[in-house]
Amino acid sequence: MDEAQPQIETSEPRAAATLAQAARERRDIVTGQVMDEAALLRFVAGPDGAVVPDLARKLPGRGLWVEANREAVTTAAKKGLFSRAAKTKLSAPADLADQVEAGLKRRLLAGLGLARRSGDLISGFEKVAASITAGKAAWMIEASNGAHDGRRKLLALARKSPRNPGLFGLFSDEQLGLALGGENVIHLALLAGRNAGHWTLDVERLGRFCPLFPESWREEP
């Protein structure tokens, strides 16, 4: 009787996964470490030689990659690391990290507008409370100048929710209203789904540049 032949595992799927992973990896110009591009920010040189954040990763030109946090971007700008990586003289503004922060905030506001148009953004205290209770809310978004009482009640619901939503509170009611094309907004819930996934990536990047809600909220009961 012929002996059973051992099964030979093919390395093709693993190789394909390795190639796909490598395609997403970039070298951080500050530390020299190779990292997944999801953890990095892309910068390019503008026509005038100024370093420009490319938060959407769509601008033409060679990408210069820096870990997505304020300290790394500030170090790259101060120490001339963009010029060294590009092998040409570039001008990195001293407020480059602030530009990144401002750009991420604009992207988040635009993302909320997109979510509203697709039906993934809920506004109003009662509707937000219902979405939190049902475990549908991925993010609870509160106006930074909203009253404590309503926020406290929603946070209490969030703690009991099947899906404990994230808390975001950097935008005023006026900023939220302008972004959403309506009156000033206090309470919002971003429903779980594709829009929330994209929005979360930018929130995580922004969280490495500034707090995601006022520090005073931590002291609230």
Beta bridge partners of 67: 40
Q: Is the pTM of this model over 0.85?
A: yes
Task: Write out pLDDT tens, residues 65-76.
Answer: 999 999 999 999
Enter the tokens of residue 126. Answer: 């009662």
Options 1.10.540.10, 3.40.109.10, 3.30.1330.30, 3.40.710.10; which CATH number does 100-219 get?
A: 3.30.1330.30
Q: Enumerate the domain spans of the chain.
A: 12-93, 100-219
Q: How many CB atoms lie within 10 A of CB 125?
A: 13
Task: Write out pLDDT tens, residues 114-160.
Answer: 999 999 999 999 999 999 999 999 999 999 999 999 999 999 999 99
Task: Write out pLDDT tens, residues 152-181.
Answer: 999 999 999 999 999 999 999 999 999 998
Torsion (CA) 78, 104, 133, 149 in degrees, nearest 10: 80
User: Which CATH homologous superfamily contains domain 12-93?
Assistant: YlxR-like (3.30.1230.10)
- What's residue 102's pLDDT? 98
